[in-house]
Amino acid sequence: MARPKKYSEEQWSDICQLAAMGFYYLLRPGEYAKSHNNARDHDNLGKPFRIRHVSFLLKNCKCHAAHLLTPRCQPCCNDFELSTMYMAMLSFNDQKSATKGDRVCQQYIGGTLCPSKALYDRVYLLIDHVGNKTNHPEGINAPLYSYFVPATAKKKASWANITTSQLTAAVRLAADSCKGLTGIPPKLINICSLCAGGGTALLCAGVGKDVTKILGRWRSDAVDVYVHTSTHTAAAGFSQKMFDAGGYKFAKEQEASTLPHLIPEEASSNAQDEHFSQLMVYNDDCDSFDDPELG
């Protein structure tokens, strides 16, 4: 969507990059946006990814750490072109539900919503100030949600941060612009929707829940809370498949013990329960069950 007037160019480009990171890498809010110090939710605690946590895998199988990149105004032979990238990776340190040193990767696909390009641009917007007076005070420990604010006639140049509330406001603006297509009220969306939306996108793409749990670092079935299976894309084609496979048959030797035979409608609920439990018993001596109570 076009940049809203209330956002500066620097701020809006950073918001778009961070939103892409949150969606594709299934990140928690506090990992890519500035959270409040008094946040109670673990997902919103300040465990941000920093420059030193980023690395890039190139098509020649070489790995390039982000903090080794040099400003674009001072190119170095060790730098690489975006077109040579294969994957962009984030290394975990103290983030939620992750083992220190583990990595989550996303492949370069090109385009404005490419996750690898978003991470590449995010890093370079911080690296470009290295060695200058405008260098970020934390150096390679600079969080990825920081951005440079150029000097104006009234203010000096400074660094600012994209916050979780700013990202939520921006995502709701985007949701409002396409609610006619999605049918989702913007007020129901917040920054956590990016992680849930990424997981749902994996489901719709046919990726299994186990793989989604690994990518999203869900250690339990809590993934079911975030991933929505009611989306029409996930269920597309199911009715035709069920119709085509609906004419299944059991082997003759299985019929007596496994088929749910009809029982009288007037039978009590207890009798029906007993009937179905009896059907689970294997009987070698007869072809059918003879229960006087059921008739």
Q: DSSP label at 188?
A: G
129: left (phi over 0), alpha (psi -120 to 50) or beta: alpha
Task: Return the amino acid letter for 57.
Answer: L
CA 29 remoteness from chain centre? 11
For the chain, the average pLDDT equals 80
Q: Which two tokens stand for residue 191?
A: 């920054």
Residue 32: its pLDDT value, please?
92
Residues 6+ apart with CB under 8 A from 179: 185, 186
Instruction: Look at 64 and 75; give whichever has higher pLDDT.
Output: 64
For the segment 251-294, what is each residue's pLDDT rounded down to a tens digit? 666 555 555 555 555 556 666 566 556 555 544 444 444 554 44
Residues 7, 166: contact at Cβ < 8 Å?
A: no
Gyration radius (Cα) of the chain, Å = 28
- For each of the domains in the chain, give its residue range(s) and CATH number, in order of start: 9-235 (1.10.443.10), 249-295 (no CATH)
Instruction: Look at 215 and 14; give whichever has higher pLDDT.
Output: 14
pLDDT interval class at 122 (50, 70, 90)? very high
For the segment 155-208, what is each residue's pLDDT rounded down to a tens digit? 888 999 999 999 999 999 999 998 888 888 899 888 888 988 898 888 888 888
Predicted TM-score (pTM) above 0.85:
no
Q: Which two tokens stand for residue 249?
A: 């048959």
Residue 238: its pLDDT value, please?
78
Q: How far is the C-alpha of 67 from the C-alpha of 55, rounded, in Å?
A: 8
For the segment 84-110, what is each residue's pLDDT rounded down to a tens digit? 999 999 998 877 767 777 888 999 998
Q: Which two tokens stand for residue 1?
A: 């969507």
In a 3-state reduction of DSSP, which class is residue 121?
helix
